[in-house]
A and B are shown apart, each in its own frame.
Chain A
Amino acid sequence: MLFLIIKRILLGLITLFIVSLITFVGTEILPGDACTTYLEREAYGAALEACYKRLGLDIPAYERYLSWAYNVIQGDFGYSLSGQMPINEVLGPRIKNSMVLASAAIIIGIPLALVLGIVTALWRDKLPDITISTITIFAMTIPEFISATLLILIVAIWLQWLPGIVIVPTDVTFFELLPNIILPVISIAMIMTAHMARMVRSSVIQVMATDYVQMAILKGVPYWKMVFKHVLPNALLPAINVVALTIAWLLGGVVVTEVVFNYPGLGRLVIESISNRDLPTVQALAIILASIYVSINLIADLMTLMLNPRLKSLQIRK
């Protein structure tokens, strides 16, 4: 078991290493570099030389990669060009804000998805299923930028209940932020919940059709006890990985939604630093997003492993 966990963590680290290489090579290959972008029209002669020297671009690429990687391992992402300050300082509040947004969406989305999925599966082809399924399919098909825009139009402009665009400084407190995140959270959670609810539904339906559920019924197990003891543990196990994928996919959704709502999170930073050609920041973001992705999947794998008796004993036997 322990061996397996270590193996998975090592694999995750290798993934991160490859991601860092790709981003590094990618930014090297692209025409232009940090200095030409930063200096714009003055990018020639002595000024350019000085900039190269200051940013250390005059040394060979592999040496730069090594020293960069060395610093990253120690938690130092370097210096932001556009913000003119250490990237760590830029990232800190942004990560916090995005975390607030994502966790709110997850905290609302996952339980809601479970309930909807289970209800639709148990009342399959009856009124609750037909209603909820229609709504979820609808919610799944609308992309965030449209649902976000519609939400702004209806709730913020017509009804004027909530602010439509987030105009707060990056470092506000949680409670000041709260009214601002409601609309972004709804627009993110909608698609995610719909996806997960569909997945939970089909998984529950599949388990309901198994021999062991029929056996439980024929054994005289009361309906709800059967659902909670025999159906759900087996139906939700495969759902864990899908939930993880959905959360990881949420990262992309967050980028779009943050831009639409002008929300000061990681997603907007990605867009900003790309358009500013702030390459050190882009690299830092790539690594951070990749590590979130890798760790979520790692956690999901380990959870499945812990909860599935079949896999657990398989590992122990080996």
Chain B
Amino acid sequence: MKEIIQKVRNLSVGFKSQKGHEISILKNITTNIKKGETVGIVGESGSGKSTLALAMMGYVKQGLFTMEGECIFNSSNLLAMGNRDLEKIRGRKIAMIPQNAGQSLTPNLKIGYQIDEALKLHTNLSKNERDKKISELLNKVRLPSPETIALRYPHELSGGQQQRVAVGMALAGNPDLLLLDEPTTGLDVTTQAHVLELLNFIAKDTGTSMVYVSHDLGAIAQVSDRIIVMYSGEIVLEGPARDILKQPIHPYTYGLLKSIPKLSLAGLPDSMPGSQPQPGAKTKGCSFYDRCNLAEDKCKKNSPNLEYVSELKTSVRCFNYKKIIEKKSEKQSNIKRNEKNIKINEILNLTDVSISYAKQKLLDQILNKITDTNPTVKDINININKGETLALVGESGSGKSTILKSIAGLLRTKEGSIKFDQGRVLSNDLKKRNSSDLRAIQLIFQNPDESLNPNHTVEEILAQPLKLYFGLSGEELKKNIIELLEKVRLGKFYMTRYPRQLSGGEKQRVAVARAFAAKPDIILCDEVTSALDVSVQAAVLNLLQKLKEDFGTTYVFVSHDLAVVRAISDRVAVLYQGRLCEIGPSKNVYKFPSHPYTEVLLGAVLEPDPDIKPKLVAEDIVEDKPPEKGCCFQGRCPRILGDKCKNETPPWQIGDNGNAIKCHINIKDLEKKQNGN
């Protein structure tokens, strides 16, 4: 048995409500962290996982307080310690790697200084030794030319580089325990896979224990030895990572795993109804009762205890876990999408579209001279059929949202044309589009918090498009609003609510309802599920699919998540640096042969399965600008041929599967090479 380095004993953390009640957000947590092991803490937002990780450093956020229990490190309780003593432990014995490194590095201090600060506090090295150590640390986290990085300010680095700096800074004090709070959330897929690989390497190399907090079971699966699943401030499942992922015996974890879209499976994942109860809302019974399909009367009255199941080495908080063990033979069977009603009936066509963010100089504008020869988005040729879902996929900076905005008319195209409805060219000036064209194309945004006016009730939000496009009023308006709410499975009583009174998933449903209120032909979805928890994501995806089938709407679906795209789309277009790399039916794009960039992206996807490891085939370099000539992917391509790729724009090649690839490598050779891997 390995030595235990941190003991959490019966820990409850909470806050005082305005009425003076004590409301707990962590309830009686007891767990141990052993030397050298990596523990993954997983849960949806609001489950208390970050609060738990912070408490392990003796830190309780402002407004919260420890109600009972202790966090014991080196035989002393961190939560009862004074600041002076904690300063000696934080950064030296226990270090934190934060979620958003960009915001966690002090903006006015250079990278070198911030690492030096940690070294000064926690080591006795001289100035020269520290300088050497800074380079060493930056080298260890695989940052190129450490000396120059040390002289930069945080904002001068890319997201992945900032995250590496944060890892390096945490390693400065040679800690025994590393706490990682969503360290890869917000990074691009390929960067995320690289950072995870680095963390795995560090865990092996230094023997440091790690606590990895994340909502992403895919990431957790790649790093953890043991997994703790949290729900509503409680541990509901705890055990060895492999067992938890292969055979989750708590209904919540079972549902959670089923709601994650997977690359290998077409169709939509199962969704879990409902949402996590608000802190303090539930006083008796199981906190998962409302959403559980195994719930019985006793679950409503009594809360189950965490029970150790010795044959599985797992602790579970459920009366009925045996029923789930019986269900294990049941394979994941995704809901089949209805693909029949797609006919070749073009509704939207983008021809040679290019978009530039560069401002033209006044003189050039007068002379009508095109100065920007290398626009952000270039040569986009896409046609979309009625009733189809076309997905645009790519990492940040790939131009996918830019294209969406120009279809909506929010951004002017520089060249090329966007044709709608039997080849009629849409003006690139929003003001020149007529009301019916504006109505026909609707947009749903990524973050419903920002796209819904916080001072309007749901009724007012939904009334606006109905009044604007159809001139409805009075009873008829109200009837239509109720109908819309029912379509997105929200009750009539939501009408009087404000966005802040809704959960994330409910808000996005209202946003979906608002888009459908205009009875549009095309809906542009910009990362609509990225801000949502997995179980809610599955529900929104299912809703979108249902509505599409009912109304025959066409979707243009932008996402960075290849698994989500696999689940919902009929066709996929892969973009890199504003240029098309590959386009084809989604069932074929996910098969080989692929464009080398698609191959890189697919390799980096994290699946919630410890047996599927990401394949890192390309460096995660960040390119500021697309190359002036040649192939757009030349800078990172693992299969680059040489000068040809650098100088000549690659041709389109069409594979047997119907997917088109823009690459110099012969498509047959590409297939052989990729299947060889």
Contact = CB atoms under 8 A, between A and B. Distances in A.
Interface string B71-111: 00000000000010011111110011011100111111100
B300 interface: no
A230 B106 contact: yes
A229 B105 CA distance: 12
Contact of B59 (A210, A218, A221, A223): A218
A214 B104 contact: yes
A310 B122 CA distance: 29
Nearest to B58: A218
Contact of B109 (A218, A223, A229): A229
A237 B109 CA distance: 14
B106 A216 contact: yes
B104 A233 contact: no
Given A217-B90, A218-B91, A212 B117 contact: no
B349 to A, nearest CB: 37
A223 B90 CA distance: 13
Nearest to B105: A212
Interface in B115-141: 117-118, 121-122
A212 B155 CA distance: 13
B107 A309 contact: yes
B289 interface: no
Nearest to B166: A215
Contacts of B88: 220
Contacts of A54: none
B296 to A, nearest CB: 43
Interface core residue of A213, A221, A234 (most chain B CB under 10 Å): A221
A313 interface: yes
A307 to B, nearest CB: 8
Contacts of A309: 107-108, 153, 155
Contacts of B54: 218
Interface in B31-56: 54
A307 B107 CA distance: 11
Contacts of A223: 83
B623 interface: no
Contacts of B96: 215, 218-219
B448 to A, nearest CB: 23
B103 A211 contact: yes
B: interface residue count bin: 20 to 34
A308 interface: yes
Interface residues of A, number: 25
Nearest to A232: B108
Contacts of B100: 211
Given A211-B98, A309-B153, A310-B155, A220 B107 contact: no
Contacts of A307: 108
A147 B59 CA distance: 46
A234 B87 contact: no
Interface core residue of A214, A215, A223, A233 (most chain B CB under 10 Å): A215
A45 interface: no
Contact of A219 (B90, B107, B156): B90
Given A219-B118, A220-B121, A310 B107 contact: yes
A60 interface: no
A222 B121 CA distance: 9
Contact of B107 (A209, A214, A229, A234): A234
Interface string A188-199: 000000000000
Interface of A is mostly: helix
Nearest to B98: A215
A310 B95 CA distance: 27
A313 B105 contact: no
Contact of B173 (A212, A217, A220, A230): A220
B57 interface: yes
Interface in B534-568: none
Given A230-B109, A308-B108, A309-B107, A219 B153 contact: no
A218 B90 contact: yes
Contacts of A237: 108
Interface string A216-257: 111111110000011001100100000000000000000000
A309 B62 CA distance: 29
B177 to A, nearest CB: 12
Interface in A121-173: none
B87 A220 contact: yes
Nearest to B62: A209
B392 interface: no
A19 B106 CA distance: 42
B153 A310 contact: yes
Nearest to B173: A220
A212 B106 contact: yes
Nearest to A234: B108
Contacts of A216: 106
A212 B90 contact: no
B103 A210 contact: yes
A220 B91 contact: yes
Interface core residue of B87, B89, B103 (most chain A CB under 10 Å): B87
A313 B104 contact: no
A221 B103 contact: no
Interface in B602-658: none
A19 B95 CA distance: 58
Nearest to B61: A214
A221 B59 CA distance: 13
B169 interface: yes
B98 A220 contact: no
Contacts of B103: 210-212
Contact of B108 (A209, A218, A222, A233): A233
A175 B108 CA distance: 43
Interface string B240-259: 00000000000000000000
A250 to B, nearest CB: 28
Contacts of B121: 219-222
Given A212-B105, A309-B155, A217 B122 contact: no
Contacts of A222: 87, 121
A309 B113 CA distance: 14
A237 B118 CA distance: 25
B388 to A, nearest CB: 42
Interface core residue of B96, B107, B156 (most chain A CB under 10 Å): B107
Nearest to A310: B155
A42 to B, nearest CB: 56
B603 to A, nearest CB: 31
Contacts of A212: 103-107
A219 B59 contact: no
A310 B103 CA distance: 13
Contacts of A308: 108
A313 B108 contact: no
A212 B121 CA distance: 17
B357 to A, nearest CB: 14
Interface core residue of A209, A220, A308, A313 (most chain B CB under 10 Å): A220
A232 to B, nearest CB: 10
A215 B104 contact: yes
A209 B62 CA distance: 9
A219 B105 contact: no
A308 B96 CA distance: 27
B59 A220 contact: no
Contacts of A310: 107, 153, 155
Contacts of B122: 220
Interface of A: 209-223, 229-230, 233-234, 237, 307-310, 313
Interface of B: 54, 57, 59, 62, 83, 86-92, 95-96, 98-100, 103-109, 117-118, 121-122, 153, 155-156, 169, 173
15 contacts: A211-B103, A212-B103, A212-B107, A215-B98, A217-B59, A217-B90, A218-B57, A218-B95, A219-B169, A220-B91, A220-B118, A234-B106, A310-B107, A313-B153, A313-B155
10 interchain residue pairs of minimum CB distance: A220-B91, A220-B90, A215-B104, A211-B103, A219-B91, A309-B153, A218-B96, A211-B104, A212-B106, A220-B87
Given A213-B106, A219-B169, A220-B122, 6 more contacts: A215-B105, A220-B91, A220-B118, A229-B109, A230-B106, A234-B106
